[in-house]
Structure 1
Amino acid sequence: MPMPQEYFNASRDFDAFMADAKASLGHGSHHQTYTTVDAVLIVFRRRLSARDGLRFASALPPVLRAIFVANWDPEEARSTFGTRADLEAEAKAIRPDHNFSPDGAIAIVASVLWRHVDREDFERMLAALPDEARDYWA
């Protein structure tokens, strides 16, 4: 079986995602960008069952998929979604000494993510998740 193109192009596609996210977030480095993207993914992941988390991960490009599941303890108690302000504050609180997430980071990362996923697959996956999970990426 030939290697899937998504794996063959994973580094190139991740670099394109990071460059887009860096510009959209107004960050000066890829380190700042990575911390913001990781925080947005962690905040979302904390609210999903393992089943829904794996469903979500399957719709991500390979490197983002790996970041999403890295260090995940699916036995950890799930959080509720709450308000967007609460979710933003939680994202900013992840690695606070190294986190430069701007206000609106979740919406910014969501916008960038939509430009780097297969829209039909992503929409189909989101349709299978709870309403609050869909709203997170709106």
Structure 2
Amino acid sequence: MPVPAEYQRASDNFYEYLVDTRNIAGLWSTHVAYTMTQGVFQVFRRRLSTENAIAFANVLPVCLRALFVTDWNIHESKKPFGDYAEMIQEVKLLREEHNFSPDTAIRDVAIALRKHINEKAFQKVLSTFPKEAADFWNV
């Protein structure tokens, strides 16, 4: 069996995502978009069960899937979904000295992400999550 296309083009697809995220958020660098995405993913992941986190990761493109699970402390206490401003502050705590995520970071990542996923599979997974988890990605 040949290597699936999603793996063959993983780096190119990831860079396309970063460029879209950079542009949507009005950032100056894909490096900033990378940190913002990782921060948003960590905020979301901290509020999911391990089972839901794995289901979510499985609908992401390869490199975003890897970023979603990077540095995952599975023993970290699960947090509740809070108010948007509180979650944005949490996004900004990742590599705080080099994090330039805007106050629209969650929205910006959600918009960019939707351009790079299978929307039907994404919605199917979100439909099995608690309402607050699905709402996190609704823009």
- Describe the superposition over 1:58-107 as per-residue Cα deviations: whole angstroms up to 9, x where unpaired: 00000000000011122211011111111111111221101100111101
- Over the matched positions of the two proteins, sequence identity in percent amounts to 42
* Normalised TM-score (structure 2): 0.96
Q: Structure 2: any 5+ residue segments left out of the alignment?
A: none
* Structure 1 outlier segments of 4+, above 6 Å: none
The answer on 1:91 being equivalent to 2:91 is yes
Tell me how far apart the structure 2 counterparts of residues 6 and 54 of structure 1 sit (CA, whole Å): 18
Tell me how far apart the structure 2 counterparts of residues 76 and 22 of structure 1 sit (CA, whole Å): 30
Partner of 2:29: 29
Tell me how far apart the structure 2 counterparts of residues 115 and 57 of structure 1 sit (CA, whole Å): 16
Measured after TM superposition, the shift of residue 13 of structure 1 is: 0.8
- Report if the CA contact (8 A) 2:40-2:105 is conserved: yes
1:8-87 equivalent positions in 2, closer than 5 A: 8-87=8-87
Paired AA for residue 102 in structure 1 = P
- Describe the superposition over 1:15-62 as per-residue Cα deviations: whole angstroms up to 9, x where unpaired: 110110111111111211111111000100111111000000000000
Partner of 1:100: 100
- Report if the CA contact (8 A) 2:126-2:133 is conserved: yes
Query: SS at the partner of 1:132?
Result: helix
Paired AA for residue 55 in structure 2 = R
Partner of 2:6: 6
Paired AA for residue 129 in structure 1 = F
RMSD between aligned residues: 0.9
Tell me how far apart the structure 2 counterparts of residues 6 and 115 of structure 1 sit (CA, whole Å): 15
Count of residues in Structure 1 that have an aligned counterpart in Structure 2 = 138
Q: Structure 1: any 5+ residue segments left out of the alignment?
A: none
- Describe the superposition over 1:93-138 as per-residue Cα deviations: whole angstroms up to 9, x where unpaired: 2211011001111011101101110111111111111111101100
Query: SS at the partner of 2:80?
Result: coil
